[in-house]
Amino acid sequence: MTGVLNIKPLEAKLTHDTELFGKMDPYCEVMIGSEKVKGKTCHGGGKTPTWQDVITVHRKGEPALYIELKDEDPGKDDIIGVCQVDLTKLSNQSTNWYPVYYKQKPAGEVKLEIVFTPVGPTGDQGHHHEHHHSHFENHPHWGGHC
């Protein structure tokens, strides 16, 4: 099913900390198909960040989306963990906690509000029948299924 997904990261309870000193500055990055959209950073959020932004992505029939939780750092941002959201079982509006994994180990959970707005066949010209394999199936930080 094609349409628009509005993903609202609300809060997280994280067990994986990338900082030895100080608090993490977490943000969410949503990945679906070839689309990747970064959300706002919760500066000093540490292991219990909260957010108030909405991340909008487009679904073109993908069965799942991935959320990478990252710690904003000067230079290179560290990965806190990855969450997979199964879109095949999702209603048009839902708020749920999703498990976060780092290197196949539980790293906490993230609460997401997801609103899906289907787009009818008028926007599809019928030329998009190629099947793309997700490059997240072998994501190095992904180790489980929600």
- Chain centroid, CA 8 distance in Å: 10
Q: What is the pLDDT of residues 12-22, one digit of tens each?
A: 999 999 998 89
Q: Is residue 77 part of a domain?
A: yes
Q: Is residue 63 part of a domain?
A: yes
| 31-35, 77-81, 135-139: segment of lowest average pLDDT | 135-139
Q: What is the CA radius of gyration of the chain?
A: 15
Q: What is the pLDDT of residues 89-122, one digit of tens each?
A: 888 999 999 999 999 999 999 999 999 999 976 4
Nearest-angstrom CA–CA distance, 13 and 70: 13
* Structure-token pair, residue 62: 């993908």
- The residue range of the domain holding 95 is 2-123
Nearest-angstrom CA–CA distance, 44 and 61: 36
Q: Is residue 130 part of a domain?
A: no
Q: What is the pLDDT of residues 40-95, one digit of tens each?
A: 999 999 999 999 999 999 999 999 999 999 999 999 999 999 999 999 988 899 99
β-partners of residue 97 are 111
Domain count, the chain: 1
